[in-house]
Amino acid sequence: MKTKSFILPAVLLAGSLIFGGCQNRSNTAGGSGQDGSKAPAESITPAADGADLSGYLRIADDFTDDVDPQCTTSLYTVALNIFDRLVEVESDPENGSSRIVPSLADSWEISEDGLIYIFHLHPGVMFSNGSPLTSSDVEYTFKRLLTLPDSVNQDIASSILGADRLQNNETDILEGFDIINDETFSITLEQPYAAFLACLSTPGASILDKETTEEAGDTFGIDPAMTVGTGPFIFDRSVPESYMLLSANKDCWSGPPMCDGIRINLVDDGESLILMYKEGELDILDLEELGSEAEFYIHGDIYQDSLVKGSRVGITYIALNQSVPPLDNALVRKALQMGLDRRMILQASCSGRGYVENGIFPHGLIGFNPDLEEIPYDPEGARELLREAGYPDGFSLDISMEEGTSEAHRELSNIIASMWEEIGVKTHVYELDDNTFMTMRRSGSIACYVSTWSADFNDPDNFIYTFFGSEENSKSRSLCFEDEELISRVHKARSIISEEERLREYNELEKIIVQDMACWVPLYSQQHIFALSSRVEGFEVSWNGWSSNRYRNVSVTGRN
C-alpha cells in the first residue's frame, strides 16, 4: 500500500480552508565482487560511470537505500522489476478488472477443502547470478518473511500451517511447506484462506535466492551485487539519496525486457520532478506527485497526447479512533460522515476524476458493491445527531498528519476541518514527525487522520481484514474497533470457500461497519495519470493504479 499526494486545483483552494522499511540496516556504498570481496562503486558494470545510458528508461521514485521487498509496504519499484513472484496479476482488458496469471509457478492445484496448494515451478529458471531456482528458495523466502525481525509483510505467509510456531521460535521448520522435488512443492494452510493465491502476487512475496540472501545478511537490499532475483532487470548500482540503476537481464527466463535498463532518480518534490521532465531527464512523470501543478498537464494543449490514465484501486478515507471520546459514540461518528460534502472534496482533490466511495471496497476491487447507499451530505442533520449525542455545542477534535505530508494532503485535511467547523466541531490540524506519528498510530493513540489505502492484491480481504479483521490490526491503524462479534465474522469470512457466499458476507459486513456504525469515513477513489516523454512506448498503468510499476514491456525510442 502506498499513500500518495492529492491533486488540488488552485481555483478551488483559493476559497477553501482546506508500506515502513527495514531499520538498523547498514548502508553500503557500491557493490561486492562475485568472490564476496568489496568492489568500488565506479567498477560496477554495465552501468559504470561513462556508460551509454541512452537506452535506459528514466523514472523517479521516493528516497530509499533499501529495496528488500519483505521490509517495505510501499517502495516497490525495484522489487517489481528485479524479482518475480509465484504468480502475477495482469489487467483484464475484456472486463476492466484483473486476473491471476502464472509466473515462477507454471501451474498449481488447490484441494477441494481449500487447504492444500501444490505448485509446479517453471523449469530452468535462473537467478541473475546464475543460480538455479528451486523449491528450497521458495521455502527460504517464506521462512525469512515470517522470522526476519524487520519484516513488515508477515501476513502473506501467516496462514501457512505452523507459521505461528516458527514466528514464536518454537521450531525452525515451517510445517505447512513440503518440498516434493526441486520444481514441485506443496503449501498447507492452517485453515482455508480464499485470498491466499492473490496474496502471492504481492511484491512482498517476491522469491529470493537462498544462498546469496543468507550470505548478504544485513546488506541484502542495500548492496546491489548481493541483491539478486529472477526478474527482467538486474540491480546494478545505488547512490544514496541520488539514483539507482537497473540493467536489462538479457538472460531472463521469461525473456529480456524491451529497454536497456532503468535509471530511478530519487526525488521527492514536485518542482524538481517538473523541471526534470521539462529538461528531458524523466521519461515518466507521475502527476499524483505534483499537487495543483498537475492541472497544467491534464488540461493544457501541450501534453494531451502524452497522458496515460488508469484507475487507482484504492480509497482515501478518514480514520476515527473509537477509543477516544466522543468518537466512541456512533451518533458522533455518523455526524462527522454527514458533515462532509464528499463530492466537493473529490472535485477539490482531483478535479472530480474518480468516484465518491461509500464503503470499504473501492471501485475496481473484487467485492465492490454498487448498491451501497450514498452517505448524504446533510450538515443540519449532522448538527441534530450531535445534539442527540449530548454535544449541542460540538466538541474539539485533532486531525494528525505526518511531518513529510505533501502540501496537497495538508490542504485536504484543512478542507475537512473547515467543513466540520460548520457543524460545530472545533478542529485542530497539526503535524507530528514521522516516527512519532507511526509510533502513536500503531499504539492506537491518534484520534483522527486522513490516509489512502491502495490494493496490494485484488481481494476484499486486503481491505476489510487490514482494518477490521482483528483488534491488533484495528489498533495499529488507530481505529480501535473492538466489536468482537464483527471482528470474528471478518476473520471467519476469509475461510469461506464459496466466492458468492464470501462476497455476500463481506458486503453485509461493509454496510454494518461503515454505514450503520460509521467506523470510518470513506471519501473517494481517483484516477491515476502519468505524462510520458516521446521516447516511451508500451507503458501501461498497473492494474491497481500504483505509482510502482513493472517496466518489462516498456521500450525506449528516439534516444537522446
The CATH number linked to 98 is: 3.90.76.10
Q: What is the DSSP letter of 221?
A: T
Q: At which of 173, 190, 220 does a domain end?
A: 220
Percent of the chain with pLDDT over 70: 89
- Give the pLDDT confidence of 101-155 residue by residue, as tens digits: 999 999 999 999 999 999 999 999 999 999 999 999 999 999 999 999 999 899 9
211 with 337, same domain: the answer is no
397 within domain boundaries = yes
More confident residue, 206 or 435: 206
Helices assigned H by DSSP within 174-315: 196-199, 210-216, 270-278, 294-299
Q: What mean pLDDT is predicted for residues 222-226? A: 96
- Is position 255 within any domain? no
- From start to end of 137-229, where are the E strands? 177-181, 184-188
350 and 466 share one domain: yes
**Locus of grid cell 502473506:** 156
Examine residue 369 and state whether it is found in any structural domain, yes or no: yes
pLDDT at 297 over 60: yes
- pLDDT computed for residue 290 by the predictor: 83
Give the residue carrying C-alpha cell 517502495: 75
CA 256 to chain centre: 26
Mean pLDDT in residue range 289-318 = 89
| Residue 333 confidence class, pLDDT cut points 50, 70, 90 | very high
Reply yes or no on whether the pLDDT at 237 is more than 70. yes
328 and 197 both lie in a single domain: no
Beta bridge partners of 428: 398
Report the pLDDT averaged over residues 251-270. 94
Residue 506 covered by a domain: yes
Res. 13: pLDDT tops 80: no
Same-domain pairing of 209 and 342? no
Angle at the Cα of 139 from the Cα atoms of 137 and 159, rounded to 5 degrees:
145
How remote is the C-alpha of 149 from its chain's centroid?
21
Asked if residue 409 is part of any domain, the answer here is yes
CATH number at residue 410: 3.10.105.10
Confidence grade of residue 33 (pLDDT, cut at 50, 70, 90): very low
**Three-class DSSP category at 160:** strand
Task: With respect to residue 536, please indicate whether it lies within any of the assigned structural domains.
Answer: no
Distance CA(127)–CA(27), nearest Å, equals 24
Structural domain count, the chain: 2
Note the pLDDT of residue 289: 80
Tell me, yes or no, whether 332 lies in a domain: yes
| Residue 72 sits in the same domain as residue 210 | yes
Q: Residue 372 pLDDT > 80, yes or no? A: yes
pLDDT tens by residue, 39-83: 333 333 444 456 789 999 999 998 887 899 999 888 899 999 999
Inter-residue contact 468 to 479 (CB < 8 Å): yes
Beta strands 425-432 and 395-402, pairing class: parallel
Between 177 and 352, the more confident residue is: 177
When pLDDT is cut at 50, 70 and 90, the band that residue 472 belongs to is very high
Domain boundary residue among 220, 246, 276? 220
Pair 318, 189 in one domain: no
Secondary structure (DSSP) of 57-121: EEEEE---S---GGG-SS--HHHHHH---SEEEEEETTTTEEEEEESSEEEEEE-TTS-EEEEEE
pLDDT interval class at 91 (50, 70, 90): confident
What is the Cα–Cα distance from 246 to 46, expressed in whole angstroms? Answer: 9
Per residue in 167-204, pLDDT tens? 999 999 999 999 999 999 999 999 999 999 999 999 99
Range from 26-35, 299-308, 533-542 that averages highest in pLDDT = 533-542
At residue 49, the pLDDT reads 57
Final residue belonging to a domain, choices 220, 236, 252? 220
The answer to whether residues 61 and 142 touch, using CB atoms and an 8 Å cutoff, is no
Q: Are residues 190 and 326 in the same domain?
A: no
Instruction: Using the Cα atoms of residue 482, residue 484, residue 489 and residue 492 in order, give the sign of their dihedral.
Output: positive
Residue 320 lies inside a defined structural domain of this protein = yes
With both helix axes pointing from N to C terminus, report the angle between 499-510 and 461-468 in degrees, rounded to the nearest 10. Answer: 50
Element containing residue 524 per DSSP (H, E): strand 520-532
**pLDDT score of 367:** 94
Residues of the chain with pLDDT > 90, as a percent, come to 79
* In a shared domain, residues 336 and 448: yes
Looking at the predicted structure, is the pLDDT value of residue 22 above 50?
Answer: no
Mean pLDDT of the chain: 89
Same domain, 213 and 327: no
pLDDT at 505: 98
* Residue 28 reports pLDDT greater than 80: no
Domain with 393 in it: 314-526
DSSP 477: T
Same domain, 210 and 319: no
Read off the pLDDT band of 96 (50, 70, 90): low
